Amino acid sequence: MNRARTDEQALVPEFEAPEFLREKCSQMQAEASYLGLGYRKARLEFEVYERLLTHFRANIERFRAEEMIDEIRAVATGTIPALIFEDESFNAQLAEELKPLHEAWAGMPLVLSYCYGIRCYQRGAFLYNHVDRQPHCISSTICVDHALNSPWPLHIENIDGRVSQINLEPGELVFYEGTRLVHGRPYPLDGDFYAGIFVHYYPADRAISAAGK
Ligand SMILES: [Fe+2]
């Protein structure tokens, strides 16, 4: 299957989220503040990426079907859209290590919220457009590895409604304001897999003000 996309096609989701997800998304988006950062593509340091890839490959046999998530589906019914393997201590260490990178992008001190993954999307999977739940407001999606026949971009809508598509190669990431900017991968994954890990932080001053309440 060759799903080469033109730029024009690229901006139109192939799968529109169902009504209940669109409503949930608008509600959550309305409650989230915008920090003026938007999103930006970047790349991990080679040494950090090498460690992440080694971790992925070393645990490939330990991936299991991910619990059903409303936003993730597969084209063929009855197939598993995504596998998951989580090593809490590895993830915590990675997220702490990546904190300065996110702080540099955000221009403010951050607190680690959560690191999720590695999630391994399977052939035919897609991710409806959505926003992340609070307090995951400073996030990144990191490409660990993939075996794609055609691009499977991150679809992201800027605050002004402008849509971008960002293709990530292994070792690349996108910083983004996940609670405010609608994002997803609303196209069927054409390939064997796409593995990603997701790190989430929130501003340290929010933690201070919450503690002071
Ligand atoms: Fe998300």
CB of 73 within 8 A of CB of 81?
yes
Continuous H helices in the chain: 7-10, 19-31, 46-58, 88-106, 204-212
Ligand 1 centre to CA of 137 (Å) is 10
| Band of pLDDT at residue 48, cut at 50, 70 and 90 | very high
Whether residue 20 is contained in a domain is answered as no
Whether residue 175 is contained in a domain is answered as yes
Ligand 1 centre to CA of 133 (Å) is 8
Ligand 1 centre to CA of 132 (Å) is 5
Ligand 1 centre to CA of 117 (Å) is 12
How many CB atoms neighbour CB 103 within 10 A? 16
Ligand 1 centre to CA of 140 (Å) is 9
Whether residue 122 is contained in a domain is answered as yes
DSSP designation for 61: G
Q: List pLDDT tens digits, range 128-163.
A: 999 999 888 999 999 999 999 999 999 999 999 899
Ligand 1 centre to CA of 77 (Å) is 22
How many CB atoms neighbour CB 207 within 10 A? 15
Q: How much is the average pLDDT of 49-66?
A: 98
| Band of pLDDT at residue 208, cut at 50, 70 and 90 | low
- The pLDDT score that the predictor gives to residue 23 is 96
Whether residue 26 is contained in a domain is answered as no
Q: What are phi and psi of 172, to 5 degrees?
A: -95, 160
Ligand 1 centre to CA of 54 (Å) is 25
Range(s) of the domain holding residue 201: 37-212
Whether residue 25 is contained in a domain is answered as no
Whether residue 94 is contained in a domain is answered as yes
**Residue 57 is part of a domain; what is its CATH number?**
2.60.120.620
Whether residue 12 is contained in a domain is answered as no
Whether residue 24 is contained in a domain is answered as no
Sheet hosting strand 172-176, strand order edge to edge:
39-43, 172-176, 138-148, 191-203, 110-122, 82-84, 64-65
Ligand 1 centre to CA of 1 (Å) is 27
The tally of domains found in the chain comes to 1
CA distance 31 to 132: 12
Ligand 1 centre to CA of 213 (Å) is 29
